[in-house]
Structure 1
């Protein structure tokens, strides 16, 4: 049952939390809204941190979801530089890092995820960095430029985006990846090989099958990355990008159901009817695939913000969406729709050497996922095919002379 006068407390002022606060007002919520954020900034876009921000093409103001004045004008009590440290569900009360307490009628956990730190010697040296926040991006930008060497630990999408931006700033860049290929956990070998070759053409070096066992330093600052084979890769700064862990401790300590993320339903509601969870922290249903999964993407944050806003204000649930995400590197735009669950066949459409192609992941004759490089029609129609679960003709799919509209028909 909705209550438009309820006090909604949002823990987290990222893309999910900021979007939810705005949607609640848009959907007619008249009660108090309190948004707690652990950064000094109002909600902002995070994907450009590894691209536009590092290259000096964006800052906090240009990336803000809304102007700071919006929150006061919309009567949203935005409290920056604070964390929630304790949740008492029986009393519907949250204790904050400054010792203050906030009562709620409805609580929304939008606490996101944090970078995984490597538990190895030297990890606390200055210059060993992560890239999750605007503060991280600003610190990294100050250390990257001509004459500098940047080591990137982790050959995933964030690592490759940082590598591309580092090269754009004139730095020497080397990527260190534990697996024998890039993007090993998230992409096909076709895509891995394509990105490696493309980055090498732009001057990025790679050490694949390289296990990092420590960082070396001088006067408290990193000077190199030590590998298991005894080599030390010299650097002026190192960015660690080996994944993220959901900030679900507040939920688990309060007795909410968690599964490497806070378990929610299709309304983004947790096992407590008064508590929701959205964005990177949520372990959510994926009806298309008949499973639960935790997603880290802006589209997921936006979709779950809509789900929670509708549930809180009593509006009909929004239509389900096919998950998607993207990555920009140099002049390449990678767009991914769906997830490659239970795949038994891969179809490549187009020639990777042309820099314009797509990789389709199939389960039988149904499309599970598509990875499209500079190929918007393949991405858009692929996303549609994933969502409607239509069976398709593999021969037509593999033939670039057949339009994607015809394939989808």
Structure 2
């Protein structure tokens, strides 16, 4: 069968799925491309939902990945509001709600993830919000405008970014978290303390080392949050950001290997060589780390989609990017390159002035850079990535010294960065 006679189906019309479809056409695939999404909107970028779009500084048209006519112009059969109910691997078909079956030669699963629900009494009351889709974001915008008191359950990235947006809207904000510091499991105590101070400096109350027992209400609307320490927080709006769960139902029912997501190799192929996975869903093997990781980051979806597309076309390309993510909170922007398992580092080395909010933090183990985070310090991500990838020992004193350019450190010499 020629490539022009093949059908590639992509289940999931988020960033990974849309970028895979784009790459198929850019790289010359002439067969049929079907892109199936259960949302009513065409593919859009999710980071603005907790950042600029939530704050009203980005227009809705700017969040979409392609103009409305791009899909027809590139002969991509985009079907929004379409739920795939089953994957029939022996028949090489997907089944759509309503009974239609679509055959495929290669299939990409890019079904993303869903917010983890708060499992306490009262969690289904009106006024309890989750943030994942554009409609969720717009509901929050309206809620922040109408309700001055906001409680955010969860002190991770979504919780803190949402807190910053709520403060920008003039709300009184309390963040509830189970750890002793926000982002503790991701950043460690040294850097997590910086984010705690940042939010306190913007008048956010942090109720840490506690959890939620019950959402209180008047029978319909949420009016308060009862904490494990017995304290009651009166509120108008509750935002739950306690993590996400990969949408593995299709893969699991089809008998694919599922372990904290759909397990794929460095070529993003699942246990079925005709089925691939990318984005939040994929538990991917990273050759330079020698380990599988499922990363819930924008960059993984952005970059895995095109790599999956290439491999579907029979062009073997391994996915081996250094993990990357970014966050914007108040006037603090950051980029993070690398990966550190919880507690898996010896020390943190700071370069720059933490008190002014312009610095780089490096996580080291055995004097090797595992990850680096630049805060309000730009143009250094290539050098940080090179340091991480090289796995060469670095003198911590030189690493901390702004007078020693990063490009002169072992492993970063080739990038010509600062």
Q: TM-score range by the shorter chain?
A: over 0.9
- Aligned residue in 1 for 2:65: 65
- SS of residue paired to 2:144: coil
Q: Runs of 5+ in structure 2 lacking a partner?
A: 414-418
CA RMSD of aligned residues (A): 1.7
CA shift for structure 1 position 131: 0.7
- Aligned residue in 1 for 2:32: 32
Q: Distance in 1 between matches of 2:190 and 2:100?
A: 53
- Aligned residue in 1 for 2:304: 304
CA shift for structure 1 position 391: 2.9
> What do the CA deviations read for 1:340-365 (whole angstroms, capped 9, x no partner)?
13422322222311211122111213
2:107/2:275 contact within 8 Å kept: yes
- Aligned residue in 2 for 1:79: 79
Q: Distance in 2 between matches of 1:178 and 1:291?
A: 28
> What do the CA deviations read for 1:150-177 (whole angstroms, capped 9, x no partner)?
1100111111100001011111111001
Q: Distance in 2 between matches of 1:178 and 1:20?
A: 37
Q: Distance in 2 between matches of 1:307 and 1:268?
A: 8
TM-score of the pair, normalised by structure 2:
0.94
- Aligned residue in 2 for 1:351: 353
Q: Runs of 5+ in structure 1 lacking a partner?
A: none
1:179/1:208 contact within 8 Å kept: yes
CA shift for structure 1 position 71: 0.5
1:355/1:374 contact within 8 Å kept: yes
- Aligned residue in 1 for 2:416: none
Relative to structure 1, the CA distance from residue 177 to residue 388 in structure 2 (aligned partners, 3 Å threshold; closer, same or farther) is same
> What do the CA deviations read for 1:265-290 (whole angstroms, capped 9, x no partner)?
11111110110100000000112211
Q: Distance in 1 between matches of 2:124 and 2:19?
A: 34
1:146/1:170 contact within 8 Å kept: no
2:10/2:36 contact within 8 Å kept: yes
Q: Distance in 2 between matches of 1:227 and 1:319?
A: 43
Q: Distance in 2 between matches of 1:50 and 1:289?
A: 30
- Aligned residue in 1 for 2:382: 380
Relative to structure 1, the CA distance from residue 16 to residue 147 in structure 2 (aligned partners, 3 Å threshold; closer, same or farther) is closer
- SS of residue paired to 1:68: coil
1:146/1:169 contact within 8 Å kept: no
Relative to structure 1, the CA distance from residue 263 to residue 316 in structure 2 (aligned partners, 3 Å threshold; closer, same or farther) is closer
The number of residues matched between the two structures is 409
- SS of residue paired to 2:181: coil
- SS of residue paired to 2:361: strand
1:2/1:313 contact within 8 Å kept: no
Which structure 1 residue ranges, 4+ long, deviate > 4 Å from structure 2? Answer: none
2:190/2:348 contact within 8 Å kept: no
- Aligned residue in 1 for 2:43: 43
Of 349, 363, 366, the match for 1:364: 366
Q: Distance in 1 between matches of 2:267 and 2:69?
A: 30
Q: Distance in 2 between matches of 1:2 and 1:324?
A: 37
CA shift for structure 1 position 36: 0.7
Matching of residues 10-409 of structure 1 within 5 Å = 10-145=10-145, 148-317=148-317, 320-341=320-341, 342-407=344-409, 408-409=412-413
CA shift for structure 1 position 126: 1.1
Relative to structure 1, the CA distance from residue 319 to residue 275 in structure 2 (aligned partners, 3 Å threshold; closer, same or farther) is closer
CA shift for structure 1 position 390: 3.1
TM-score of the pair, normalised by structure 1:
0.96
